[in-house]
Structure 1
Amino acid sequence: MNWNHVQSLLRQHKIDAWLVYDFRGSNSVFSLLLPGKRVTTRRAALLIPAHGTPTLLCQGLDSNQFEHLQGVQKEHYLGWRDLHAWLSNKLGSSKRVAMEYAPGCTLPVVSIVDAGIVDLVRAIGVEVVSSADVLQMCVATWSDAALETHMKASREVARIKDDAFDYIRASLKKGERITEYMVQQRIVENFRAAGLEVGEPPIVAANGHAGDPHFEVSASNPSVIVPGDWILIDLWSRYPGFENIYSDITWVGYCTKNASDTVPTKHREVFETVRASRDAAVNLAKQRWNAKQSVQGWELDDASRNVIVHAGFERFVKHRTGHSLSPGPRVHGLGVNLDNLETHDTREVLPGLGYTIEPGIYMPELGVRLEINVYTDAAKGPVITSCVQDEVVMC
């Protein structure tokens, strides 16, 4: 971690110190700032002042879990009185201290620490502010290497997506039985063959199942895919490595009944609405960049969803427009989300950050989600890093 960069961000935001508190792995940000495999049993705190050397406080029993720290001074405590005294001593001269806290829990993704530790810090006489803006620039930005491996993973994920639809098409043409589960497992096998991570299995959803954004394929009783079916495939993976970024896409297809069959009118209307919704977010991001104006996550969400609302499909919306893509263990990152529905995300979309754009319309009989990945390049602005679907795949 570049502590000078972190401290520069603190000064830009007029924050005197950043207190990153953890109890037995409760704070994922703590682990991102101090990476490494460890198992702790007591409270610990990383204090990053706007000026000076960062300090880690840990209980003596956990001291061996924090060996070989670079650029960080390590101190120990024994009991709760020591911990309280340390906090008072280190924070007593501060006015504004950042923590993983969001006023009113407006941003659950960064509202991590418990109310008790916030009470304790406030009792010292300092103002506790959210670390959200600083946090995303410290742990959610992509390195050059991460961008490169993401682009490589995106090409593989696109190829595997094409193979999945080809598999459906070929099976139906031959009259062979094919199920959601069979397609899902083919994708998983292709991930392994390509050297990509295999975590949560991809979504392969037919017809009404596509109307459930988080549908889980049944291994024991999967739906058989037949001509006339509507198919949604959501797949995500990355090359192994904590710093690497997932490629996360969703495409849809229609299984034709004969050579002259076309996409049903209703399905096409929904598809075109979602496509326009996706493109509205992309266009706003690019417009703001070209105008040298900032854009916040909630604004991109509104731009996208307004298209769906104006088309009369508002009641079929079930989630925000997009989520952060960042280093770490999860496909949903710690940076800005495209969200003014589930939360009001006022974080700026800044250079070095990535995210998905994935509006969806979900009906009882079908669902459409079109998901792409975007990276904000410091020189070029918003760059789409994934494949983009503009027409329904015909199977």
Structure 2
Amino acid sequence: MVGFHDGAGEPENADVGGGEVYPAGNFTIPVVAEDEHVTGGAVAEEVAGGQDEVGVDEYAGAVAGWGVDPYQRRQHSYDNAMSDSVSVLTYSGRLRRAQELCSRRGLAGLVLGPGEQLAYLTGLRFDTHERFSALVVPAVGEIRLVLPVVDRDVTPEERLGIKVKTWVDGSSPYDLVPTGRIGVGAELVASHVLRLMPGRELVSATEVLAELFVSKEKLELEELRRAGKAIDRVHAQVPQLLRPGRTEREVAADLSRLILEEHEKVDFVIVGSGPNGANPHHEFSDRILGLGDMVVVDIGGSLQSGYHSDCTRTYVVGGPGAVPRMYQVLYDAQAAAVRTVRPGVTAESVDAAAREVISAAGFGEFFIHRTGHGIGLSLHEEPFIVAGNTMELLPGMAFSVEPGIYIPGECGARIEDIVAVTEDGCELMNNRPRELL
């Protein structure tokens, strides 16, 4: 997806790895087939007054079709905190490795706010509010989940060796974070980061954690396969939605409904018709679809497990006539990039493979974004497929391959698949046709 974050086909007999082959167009695609109250100082033992300032019942609620209101989601998410498909042993291993990485990197510990990084290590999913909530992972010693005591009733039982520490308004929860050199998670908001600064050297935790999640485990890859199949089923229904006289907004509403039939929630919907397709960050508008319009459809959702789908195809309203040269170039460029994916190759080499094809055909100035991004519990993560990223690809890495060509004022085209690096090539998680439809 390029719309809220930052891939068309493949030539005959392209080699992208072993395993069972799946024909798509003229390209053979492999399918690998107690709550513990700390007393004194920073954290008090009892709730003063016991009132919750959040006001969940007064909140207006979610936008229809786009998921649950964040306060409601925070309230119930602890109940389904641990993924059914991932064992306690798996999460315990991840936490142990995180502590080992802290020691190796000279960190006193990590402090992670609610979000994908915390979920990866613990299976816990909840949304924060203005009060400090964080997972504290020291290099040595007790791992803590720090929460405001107003959330006491929705906290999970202690597990994974994690101690739940609660705090009350008027006290300082930051005293529960080690001093020294601390890795700060990407989801921790700036106001809390500023309060953590005294007595600590703060660095980004993302690079440390990337060593853990950049290569996906077996169960993670299976979730990405499920996500890929789910979004493929949505794309299969797109042609019947693209009728002359309909608006992008109407199509997007239908797509949101279809995504929710296959996913837990909608992540994004892009419907870019005609000149709107030339803007990679276009979402949708009231533009009316016309016969022959090229339409970029980039959609994605999240499964209940938290893993994301992300797939782009380009369509023509009423079906294609002659295939434009720009689209054939794009098709060949994506094929070249996919063929490049294998262990030992650098991320920037995959980007270069697509960019060279597009540039050689005279469209280089119209390819204006990176070729891809990693995906998992985060929609955007390493490896980023971009010039300058010398990270070597490893088995289990999963990312998008999504070159695009965008002609201002005229049209745009993009084709995107999620791929996973195998021992000798790659597996494609999306298998809808890549031809212009």
TM over 0.5: yes
Match of residue 356, structure 1, among 374, 394, 400 = 400
Shift of residue 44 of structure 1? 4.0
Q: Are 1:336 and 2:399 an aligned pair?
A: no
Q: Secondary structure at the match of 1:43?
A: coil
Match of residue 313, structure 2, among 251, 268, 289 = 251
Partner residue, 1:106: none
Give, as a single letter, the amino acid of the residue that structure 2 aligns with 1:233. Answer: V
Partner residue, 2:296: 232
Partner residue, 2:375: 325
How far apart, CA to CA, are the structure 1 residues paired with 2:149 and 2:249?
Answer: 50
Distance 1:211 1:196, change over 3 A: same
Match of residue 308, structure 1, among 355, 358, 376 = 358
Q: Are 1:283 and 2:339 an aligned pair?
A: yes
Partner residue, 1:105: none
Give, as a single letter, the amino acid of the residue that structure 1 aligns with 2:332. Answer: A
Shift of residue 210 of structure 1? 1.3
Q: Are 1:48 and 2:137 an aligned pair?
A: yes
Q: Cα deviation per residue 1:357-382 (whole Å; 9 max; x = unaligned)?
A: 111111120101111111234x5553
Q: Cα deviation per residue 1:375-394 (whole Å; 9 max; x = unaligned)?
A: 234x555311112655322x
Distance 1:30 1:345, change over 3 A: farther
Q: Is the 8 A contact 2:245 2:289 kept in 1?
A: yes
Partner residue, 2:111: 20
The higher-RCO structure (CA 8 Å, 6+ apart) is 2
Match of residue 284, structure 2, among 214, 217, 225 = 217
Correspondences of 1:1-395 after superposition (within 5 Å): 2-12=91-101, 14-15=104-105, 16-22=107-113, 29-30=117-118, 33-34=121-122, 35-37=124-126, 41-58=130-147, 63-64=152-153, 66-70=155-159, 71-75=161-165, 86-87=176-177, 90-91=178-179, 97-100=182-185, 110=186, 114=190, 117=193, 120-121=196-197, 123-124=199-200, 128-138=202-212, 142=216, 144-166=218-240, 168=242, 177-192=245-260, 194-197=261-264, 199=266, 202-218=269-285, 221-226=286-291, 228-238=292-302, 240-246=303-309, 248-254=310-316, 261-263=321-323, 267-268=324-325, 270-286=326-342, 289=343, 293=344, 295-296=346-347, 298-327=348-377, 332-340=379-387, 349-363=393-407, 364-377=409-422, 379=423, 382-387=426-431, 389-393=433-437
Give, as a single letter, the amino acid of the residue that structure 1 aligns with 2:413. Answer: V
Number of residues of Structure 1 aligned to a counterpart in Structure 2: 343
Give, as a single letter, the amino acid of the residue that structure 2 aligns with 1:49. Answer: P
Q: Secondary structure at the match of 1:213?
A: coil
How far apart, CA to CA, are the structure 2 residues paired with 1:149 and 1:350?
Answer: 19
Distance 1:51 1:276, change over 3 A: farther
How far apart, CA to CA, are the structure 2 residues paired with 1:60 and 1:166?
Answer: 51
Give, as a single letter, the amino acid of the residue that structure 2 aligns with 1:362. Answer: Y
Q: Cα deviation per residue 1:201-241 (whole Å; 9 max; x = unaligned)?
A: 633332212112232333xx432321x33232223235x40
Q: Is the 8 A contact 1:42 1:62 kept in 2?
A: no
How far apart, CA to CA, are the structure 2 residues paired with 1:146 and 1:251?
Answer: 24
Q: Is the 8 A contact 1:54 1:73 kept in 2?
A: yes
Shift of residue 283 of structure 1? 2.9
Q: Secondary structure at the match of 1:47?
A: strand
Q: Is the 8 A contact 1:273 1:307 kept in 2?
A: yes
How far apart, CA to CA, are the structure 2 residues paired with 1:369 and 1:190?
Answer: 21
Output the TM-score relative to the length of structure 2.
0.64
Q: Cα deviation per residue 1:181-209 (whole Å; 9 max; x = unaligned)?
A: 554444445445x5434525633332212
Distance 1:204 1:78, change over 3 A: closer
Give, as a single letter, the amino acid of the residue that structure 2 aligns with 1:212. Answer: N
Shift of residue 78 of structure 1? 6.4
Q: Secondary structure at the match of 2:426?
A: strand
Q: Secondary structure at the match of 2:384?
A: coil
How far apart, CA to CA, are the structure 1 residues paired with 2:368 and 2:164?
Answer: 46
- Over the residues paired in the alignment, what is the CA RMSD in angstroms? 3.8
How far apart, CA to CA, are the structure 1 residues paired with 2:230 and 2:187?
Answer: 35
How far apart, CA to CA, are the structure 1 residues paired with 2:259 and 2:416?
Answer: 19
Output the TM-score relative to the length of structure 1.
0.70
Q: Cα deviation per residue 1:301-352 (whole Å; 9 max; x = unaligned)?
A: 3443343334332332332222222126xxx234432234xxx656554444
Shift of residue 20 of structure 1? 1.3
Q: Secondary structure at the match of 1:279?
A: helix
How far apart, CA to CA, are the structure 1 residues paired with 2:398 and 2:224?
Answer: 11
Give, as a single letter, the amino acid of the residue that structure 2 aligns with 1:314. Answer: G
Distance 1:17 1:307, change over 3 A: farther
How far apart, CA to CA, are the structure 2 residues paired with 1:212 and 1:338?
Answer: 20
How far apart, CA to CA, are the structure 1 residues paired with 2:257 and 2:129?
Answer: 36
Shift of residue 179 of structure 1? 4.8
Q: Secondary structure at the match of 2:236?
A: helix
How far apart, CA to CA, are the structure 2 residues paired with 1:12 and 1:39?
Answer: 26
Q: Is the 8 A contact 1:322 1:339 kept in 2?
A: yes
How far apart, CA to CA, are the structure 1 residues paired with 2:307 and 2:428?
Answer: 17
Task: Give unpaired runs (5+ residues) of structure 2.
Answer: 1-89
Task: Give unpaired runs (5+ residues) of structure 1.
Answer: 101-109
Distance 1:81 1:381, change over 3 A: farther
